Amino acid sequence: MEKVDKGSIKSAAEEAIRPIPNKSFLGMRPKLWKYYMAGENPHTKLQKWFKKRGEAPVLLSDVKPGVTSQVIDARLFNMGIFKSITQSKTEETKRTAKVIYTCYVHKPFKIKDLSYDISDDSISRLVLAEKKKSLIKPGKKYSLDNLKNERVRLDAILKNHGYFYFSPDNLLFKADTSNLNHTVAFTLALKDSLPEKALKVYHIGYVNVNQNYTLNEQRKLNPLDTLMLHDIVFFGKAEKMAVRPRVLSKSIYLRPEEVFSRQNHIITLSRLMSMGNYKLVQVNFSENKDSLPGLLDVNILMTPMRKRTFRAEIDLVSKSNNYTGPRLNLSLINRNTFGGAELLNLNLAGSFEAQFSNKSQYSYSWNPQLELTFPRFLVPFHLKSSNSIFVPKTSILFSYNYQKRVQYFDMNTFRFVYGFKWKENIRKEHELNPIDISFTTVGNKTVAFNDTLEAHPFLKRSYDEQFIAGGSYTFTYSEQMLTGKKLQNYIQLSSELAGNSFSLVKKIEGKTISPDNPNKVVGSIYSQYGKMSVDGRTYLNFKNKNKMALRLFAGVAKPYGNSSIMPYTKQFFSGGPNSIRAFHINSVGPGTYLQDPNQRGFLQLGGEVKLEADAEYRFGIYRFFKGALFVDSGNVWLLKSNPSNIGSPFVLSNALDEFAVGAGVGIRIDVSFFILRFDLAMPLRKPWLEENNRWVVNQIDFRSSTWRSDNLVLNVAIGYPF
């Protein structure tokens, strides 16, 4: 005999209990205590605060066990337990009381089969065509929620075929139960009395667009100030239309004479909103009374956003490498730059940072950037438009970054990117950058900097003049926006190639491709490499809004052809506020190598292989104050083919033994739109120590100021680490 799911029954019963008992914590009731501390008539601010944050006592006289028992039985009925009996018993002590509910249940009813008896032939054909996708399947347990969801599913199908006034309530499940086998057979039918409109297929009549609509608009539009394009009527004078009608029409999927489709309605609304030019878009439908019946006129009302926005931000940045200083960011956004909903973003950022322990160690930078985004694919050939609710975007970016490391060097970086972003659906997103070119030069090198590079040949090659020309592709799958899902998954796959086109041309010219005698383009040595990475995450959500977050990252990069060393900016690094938080930023590895702490800040060594695993338990403390307990682990390595002998090369069988491990606690201020994070971490395992002495748990001594100074790392950051 099949076992009854006691867990689901208990959960259903607990959700039905009213009133909800006073909350307890470790056997105490702090909210109830606050309520009593406030008194009946609070006067002081503290008493009023206690009253507001407290919780009034739940009295036994407020509890109605008989009514609650009936509600519990109703909940169990919805789960297929049609004949449950819930009894209650009250136990009282001197100051408290509790009510015990006991449920007598039977095996839940299962679905025997589902048949259809739909009187309207057109609706019947549509429903039967989607029969295989039905949520009501033989052998499944009875669930009222499944019946409701099946009606919603069928309603969506009918809405997409013109049944504008149809409703899920128009569908009726007739049940025939068998007590002998605990089964139920369903017959799906239409309700006996339906309004005529619910059975009528509607087509689109006129489609009108007003892209200068205001909420308090009282004036009537002048029918003479209109423009007709693709059978769509655009109201207003052409010279006053912010976005060209030709551009808007590509995002309007509701067209005259076509059958009404709710999916096309959703696509139209989503695409117009995601253009970024309108703060409000309404798509209203009304029956056309001046022509044939069965027509719906569409009125698209759009309220434009302000065309230009200026923003200035100033931050005080403190890094885990002891560099601190101000950062200024100026941004000018121009919407609808060329009349086609293009977004132009002019950005100028500047920063200054220095080490408190060494005032001569400071740097400053400035970074102007121009980015132009088009709400469509900008390609020299025709692409068939998709039915995604998201607008594809083309981005063109120009940027220049100047960085001055006083007493070391000046670095200039120019970058140009041409790429696309598009979403298949709410979960899947793609980013393709077929052209990504950057050119970096390092000048004004000081003697101290050159001496450091001579001591680290691998680092020296990383700071050579770099010309990178390639492309990248990133695929992201995320369920984080599905807030009701208990288990949410996230995965991001990234790949990047550079230098292959240049090497192909050089080979055609008959030249040899070798890192020992590298080829040049426009006078500069170009980099050639391949790079791939995967970032996988899982979020387990609990009923009390606490969360367990897990992450696994793996990446590999391989220089070849014209290069023997990965460009410094393309290497993998480990350690820091978004990595292994018990170690300073970019200070872990490669392999068993111990980096010089005096060079911490910008001369860290990276790797060509990265493995990292993280776990974090997030819990609420009080209102927007959140807490966390976390463990981080991982490292970076060089490949065996790398000419450098720094650290230990990557060997899969030895990787776990060379992991750095750290753990800590965190406090987060989470106000939804802004998250300020403080994570205090300490190392548990140091990979650079001797092989059998890498665990340092036994050395933890919070009383020692020396240990605290050498091991405790405070990370201050914006947003969650993953």
Domain containing 267 — which CATH number? 3.10.20.310
Q: Over 80: is that where the pLDDT of 463 sits?
A: no
The domain total for the chain is 4
In a domain, 1, yes or no: no
Q: Is residue 528 part of a domain?
A: yes
Show which of 104, 126, 151 is a domain's final residue.
Answer: 104
* Residue range of the domain that includes 154: 110-199
Lowest mean pLDDT among 142-146, 361-365, 423-427, 553-557: 361-365
Shared domain check, 317 and 466: yes
Mean per-residue pLDDT, 285-300: 85
250 and 340 inside one domain: no
pLDDT of residue 218: 52
C-beta atoms surrounding 315 within 10 Å: 12
The residue-averaged pLDDT of 163-185 equals: 91
**Other Cβ atoms closer than 10 A to 137:** 11
Q: Please calculate the CA angle 323-329-333 and round it to the nearest 5 degrees.
A: 155
Residue finishing a domain among 199, 229, 245: 199
Same domain, 273 and 214: yes
Per-residue model confidence (pLDDT) at position 669:
92
Same domain, 53 and 168: no
What would the mean pLDDT of 555-579 be, rounded to a whole number?
91
More confident residue, 248 or 595: 248
Tell whether the model's pLDDT for residue 717 goes beyond 60.
Answer: yes
pLDDT digits (tens, 9 = 90+) for 353-403: 876 655 567 788 999 999 999 998 988 877 776 778 888 999 999 999 998
Predicted pLDDT of residue 427: 92
Taking phi over 0 as left and psi of -120 to 50 as alpha, with beta for the rest, 461 belongs to alpha
pLDDT digits (tens, 9 = 90+) for 630-678: 999 999 999 988 877 788 899 999 999 999 999 999 999 988 778 889 9
Residues 681 and 320 sit within 8 Å (Cβ to Cβ): no
pLDDT reported for residue 572: 95
Are 191 and 213 part of one and the same domain? no
| Residue 394 near residue 374 (C-beta atoms within 8 A) | yes
Task: Clarify whether residues 232 and 134 are in a common domain.
Answer: no
| Residue 1 binned pLDDT confidence (cut-offs 50, 70, 90) | very low
Q: Are residues 426 and 515 in the same domain?
A: yes
At residue 478's C-alpha, the angle toward residues 474 and 481, to 5°, is: 140
Instruction: Report the predicted TM-score, pTM, of the whole model to 2 decimal places.
Output: 0.81
Given 199, 229, 251, the domain boundary residue is: 199
What is the rounded average pLDDT of the residues 328-356? 89
Instruction: Tell me, yes or no, whether 296 lies in a domain.
Output: yes
128 and 88 co-located in one domain:
no
For the ranges 33-37, 78-82, 353-357, the lowest mean pLDDT is seen at 353-357
User: Within 106-191, where are the H helices?
Assistant: 121-129, 144-159
Predicted local confidence at residue 599, as pLDDT: 56
pLDDT at 336 over 50: yes
In a domain, 696, yes or no: yes
Mean pLDDT of 533-537: 97
Higher pLDDT, 586 or 31: 586
Quickly list H helices, 141-254: 144-159, 245-249
Query: Which pLDDT tens digit goes with each residue over 99-128?
Result: 899 999 888 999 999 999 999 999 999 999
Residue 658 domain-assigned (yes or no): yes
User: Is residue 48 predicted with pLDDT exceeding 70?
Assistant: yes
316 sits in the region (left: phi over 0; alpha: psi -120 to 50; else beta) called beta
Can you list the pairs that 403-407 forms with residues at least 24 positions away whose Cβ atoms lie under 8 Å? 403/363, 403/364, 403/365, 404/363, 404/364, 404/365, 405/363, 405/449, 405/602, 406/360, 406/361, 406/362, 406/363, 407/360, 407/361, 407/446, 407/448, 407/449
Concatenate the DSSP letters of all residues of 236-247 into one string: S-GGG-SS-HHH
The more confidently predicted of residues 550 and 621 is: 550
Q: For residue 136, is pLDDT > 60? A: yes
Same-domain check for residues 313 and 296: no
> Which distant-in-sequence residues (6+ apart) come within 8 Å of 303 by Cβ?
213, 214, 215, 278, 279, 280, 281
For residues 335-352, average pLDDT: 91
E strands within 375-447?
393-405, 409-423, 428-443
Task: Say yes or no: 183 and 57 in one domain.
Answer: no
Q: How far apart are CA 313 and CA 328, in angstroms?
A: 6
Residue 321 has pLDDT above 60, yes or no: no
Residue 532 has pLDDT above 90, yes or no: yes
Q: What is the mean pLDDT of residues 489-500?
A: 96
With 70 as the cut, is the pLDDT of residue 719 above it? yes
How confident is the model at residue 655, as a pLDDT?
Answer: 92
- Give yes or no: residues 182 and 240 share one domain: no
CATH of the domain at 450: 2.40.160.50
Q: What is the mean pLDDT of residues 673-685?
A: 92
pLDDT interval class at 2 (50, 70, 90): low
Instruction: Say which residue the tokens 């970086």 belong to.
Output: 413
**92 band by pLDDT with thresholds 50, 70 and 90:** confident
Q: Give 483 or 492, the one with higher predicted confidence.
A: 492
Query: Residue 214's pLDDT is what?
Result: 81
pLDDT for 221 beyond 60:
no
Tell me the mean pLDDT in the region 535-555. 93
CB 683 within 8 A of CB 697: no
Task: Judge whether 667 lies within some domain.
Answer: yes
- Shared domain for 624 and 572, answered yes or no, is yes
Q: What is the mean pLDDT of residues 34-47?
A: 80
